[in-house]
Structure 1
Amino acid sequence: MPARFTVIKIGLIIAVLTVAGFLGERVIFRPKSATGTSLSYFDYIVVIVMENKNLYQTYGNSCVGNCTFINQLANRFGIAENYSGIAHRSLPDYLTLTSGLNYSYPPFVTDCGPQVGNCTVASRNIVDSIEATHRSWRAYIEDYSGGCKGSSSDHIPGPDPFLFYRDVYYNATRCSNIATANPSHQGYLGLPTRLLSDLNEADGTPNFMWLSPNLCDSGHNACNSTSLTGSCRILVKCISQGNEYLGLLVPQILASRTFETKNAALFITWDEGSAGTCPGVGRTYPTCIDRVPAIFAGPHVKQDYVSDLGYSHYSFVRTLEVAWNLPSLGPLDAGAMAMTSFFQTQSPTGVTSTEPS
């Protein structure tokens, strides 16, 4: 009899591990249902922007390299399969994601440096809108010394778009919100410990958290623990690196105190793909179509949700505006479709109800 019970116990353990996904894949810890009475789609959002890969290179059966974690995350939560970057070259895409405006023209299409010559932006941006509603924000930049005049050995200008806005760059208080993401370990797989620490604070977590991975972690360059190449000549390597980075980071985000106890969402996208129909200067969505992954995850994100509606980086800005009742920043974000169908809405009692998709 003892031998029989031992066999049964072993069988049950194997079955549980298999269902939970411990055998052969990284586990995504599904967050507990957040409590509270918020009527917003989310009260906290983490935004991660990866680099230079399109939807077909990073998701599904057409993946180039190892996309196991990206596929697992997208399939468990929600992915937009018809989401587009808005221009070719990184900087215009980053500026659109943070302003809702089109910067697909010189000098921004040259990936110029912030506040160098005409490479400066005087228009309103999401920081203005966020602060006007008394919400907080912080940008976490990997391998960067922090502030508005910090230094970095392996960054291109675009991934810190906030430096291009004059009302951020010349404002000491706002500059203090641009933080070193990974102070203890830079380079390949140097995870953003500052972001993770803030997500596990009891109070004081910023409402809007922007993360720019370094060139290794974002998939922009092929790297190893000791070196950084000049570009991504081997797609398999770069895509697999990005997948590994997200596989290490995202479960920690979803298991954080903020995601387990508050109404939080995670948004991951890529700045641009393979240029699509975007090589012409001045083109923007929908004249420019450059499909990149766009993934939402979190306690109030629909499970197993796929959308084929036409979204773009303008839609991300519009989603933020709708969720937080912010004014539109221009005609392009105002005319974009918000991605609210990815979320379950909350009633005043805190009970979730699914919004029609």
Structure 2
Amino acid sequence: MKLTMKSATRSRGAGPLRAVPVLAAVLAVLATACEGPADGGGPVPRPSATTSIPAPQSATTPAATALAATGKIGHVFVINLENESYAKTWGPDSAAPYLSRTLRNQGVLLTRYYGIAHHSNPNYLAQISGQGSNPMTRNDCTTYAPFTQTGTADPGQVLGTGCLYPASVPTVAGQLSSAGKTWKAYMEDMGTPCRHPEPGARDDAQNAKVNDQYATRHNPFVYFSSITSSPDCQNNVVDYSNLATDLQNIATTPDLAYISPDLCHDGHDSPCVDGEPGGLVSADAWLKEQVPAILNSPAYLKDGTLIITFDEADGNETGPSGLPGGTAGGLVGALVLSPFTNPGSSTDTMYNQYGLLASVEDIFSLPRLGYAGAVGQHAFGRDVYNRLP
């Protein structure tokens, strides 16, 4: 059965993106990027008596230097799906043939990419801030409680518990704005820009409803006061339906586009409240409808990279030691597509959600935040962007 997008009667549903004209030529392929540092364990957090946040680590790794020097990648697209193990998604019996075969044959498969915690929320937060999990985020922040800070620790961590982080905690969104770059978060079914509960209130967007399958916990941008207290939240954290228009030309496509499908199309629910089957079946059908418009957009064809991954593996799966910030979310894998990647290739370098943040920061020559800047953290290097001149 071919799945279709929400009914046309919905005021904030997302229809299929329109494919846009292809550029006449693709920008020259990515110059060689050096590999990141070798595997190494993360530092043990050391509590501090101060309440200030340790300064971000400088992006001085070989991979960062190479990417900054070439300046080739200019647009990053990230799509997060939900709750599937590597074996189920990428194995021969995958229920997602478009992702696991069609798209996989066009990009680089990261065979050792891990979530950092169970459940969903801390994985999303890690991708934009480098912060580790705490008891409330591991419980998916069912109450939108302000963060209660007890101290700080290396690398760049705030200690305590809670969901709405203080304005002193930096994010890649703030970094991009300060560097004169653009970013947007596209949230399917969110409707109202910057939608989130009132501080201290129970989150009523934990479960899907008919015509509203938005999940606050899959929108990391609304967990940071530095964003929610700024006009950037209303302007940049928007409903997914805005992406189709923004993709029409390079000038309106943000440098970082962070995309969260709704609870059906990210594969979380199975079955879905609207009657769709959910799981990998619905996620794959959504990708098949939506991804071609990204891959055919002028920004992607000029200098883009699309990263598709999952927040965590199903069940209580964990991963091995060896990466700062851990692999407690289990093996999920990730796919990277770009004019600068060799189709059908793979890498067995270990990565986690913090490595994704480090990779985005390196591309835009930004300091690495939190566990993204820890010694031994890997950012995508020549093993991923492997299409040489």
TM-score w.r.t. length of structure 2: 0.69
Q: CA deviation at 1:43?
A: 0.4
Question: How far does residue 207 in structure 1 lie from its aligned partner after superposition?
Answer: 0.4
State whether residues 108 and 337 of structure 2, in contact with CA within 8 Å, keep that contact through their aligned partners in structure 1: yes
CA displacement at 1:114 relative to structure 2? 7.3
Q: 1:69 to 1:93 in 2, by over 3 A?
A: closer
- Decide which moves more: 48-57 or 198-207: 198-207
Q: What's 1:189 paired with?
A: none
- Give the match for residue 7 of structure 2: none
Structure 2 CA distance for partners of 1:239 and 1:270, relative to 1, 3 Å: same
Which residue does 2:245 correspond to in 1? 197
Q: 2:257 aligns with which of 205, 209, 223?
A: 209
Distance 1:40 1:176, change over 3 A: same
3-state SS of 2:291 partner: helix
* Residue 129 (structure 1) aligns with: 175
1:46 maps to a residue whose letter is F
Structure 1 range deviating more: 167-176 or 143-152: 143-152
Equivalent-residue separation in structure 1 for 2:259 and 2:371 (angstroms): 26
Q: Which residue of 2 aligns with 1:269?
A: 309
What is the aligned-residue identity percentage?
Answer: 23
Separation in structure 1 between the aligned mates of residue 250 and residue 110 of structure 2, nearest angstrom: 32
Residues in 2 aligned to 1:284 and 1:54: alpha-carbon distance in whole angstroms = 21
Against the structure 1 CA distance between its residues 257 and 119, is the aligned structure 2 distance closer, same or farther, given a 3 Å change threshold?
A: same
Letter in 1 for 2:73: F
Structure 1 residue 219 corresponds to structure 2 residue 267: yes
Give the structure 2 partner of residue 120 of structure 1: 164
Query: Aligned to 1:290, which of 327, 330, 343?
Result: 330
What's the C-alpha RMSD, in Å, of the aligned pairs? 2.8
Q: CA deviation at 1:334?
A: 3.4
Tell me which amino acid in the other structure corresponds to 1:119.
C
Correspondence 1:173 to 2:222: no
Give the match for residue 109 of structure 2: 79
Q: Which amino acid aligns with 2:192?
A: G
Are 1:121 and 1:166, in contact at CA under 8 Å, matched by a contact in 2?
yes
Task: Between 158-167 and 111-120, report the one with greater CA deviation.
Answer: 111-120
Moved more, 83-92 or 330-339: 330-339
**CA-CA distance at 1:219 after TM superposition:** 0.5
What is aligned with 1:58? 89
Name the counterpart of 1:144: 190
Aligned residues: 295
Q: Greater share of helix residues, 1 or 2?
A: 1
- Structure 1 residue corresponding to 2:223, chosen from 164, 179, 182: 164
- Matched with 2:121 is 91
Distance 1:289 1:272, change over 3 A: closer
Cα deviations across residues 18-49 of structure 1 (Å, max 9, x unaligned)?
xxxxxxxxxxx999752279823510011100
Q: Aligned with 1:56: secondary structure? A: helix
Letter of the aligned partner of 2:214 in structure 1? H
Counterparts of 1:33 and 1:300, CA distance in 2: 14
- Compute the displacement of 1:147 (Å): 2.2
The amino acid of 1:146's aligned partner reads T
Partner of 1:324: 364
Equivalent residue letter for 1:145:
G
Amino acid at match of 1:246: L
CA contact (8 A) 1:140 1:211 kept: yes
Counterparts of 2:185 and 2:364, CA distance in 1: 19
The CA distance in 2 between the partners of 1:59 and 1:149, in whole Å, is 33
| Gaps in structure 2 of 5+ consecutive residues | 1-20, 31-69, 147-161, 198-204, 206-211
1:299 corresponds in structure 2 to 339
Alpha-carbon spacing, 1:33–1:55, altered in 2? closer, same or farther (3 Å): farther
Aligned to 2:139: 110
Contact 1:113 1:119 in 2 (8 A): no
- 1:107 alignment partner, SS class: helix
Q: Secondary structure of 2:362's match? A: helix
Bigger Rg over Cα: 1
The DSSP-based 3-state class of the residue aligned with 1:176 is: helix
Distance change >3 Å, CA 204–CA 82, structure 1 → 2: same
Query: Per-residue CA shift, 1:207-264, capped at 9, x if unaligned?
Result: 0001110011101112469347xxxxx8xx511111111111112211112223x201
CA, structure 1 residues 287+79, in 2 after alignment: closer, same or farther (shift >3 Å)? closer
Equivalent pair of 1:314/1:332 in contact (CA under 8 Å): yes
Structure-2 change in CA distance of 1:94 and 1:84 (3 Å): same
Structure 1 segments unaligned to the other structure (5+ residues): 1-28, 183-193, 229-233, 346-351
Output one character per residue of 1:76-109: Cα deviation in whole Å (capped at 9) or x when no partner.
Answer: 2111001000001000000001111212x21111
User: Aligned equivalents of 2:78 and 2:229: distance in 1?
Assistant: 24
| Structure-2 change in CA distance of 1:119 and 1:150 (3 Å) | closer
Q: Distance in 2 between matches of 1:198 and 1:155?
A: 21
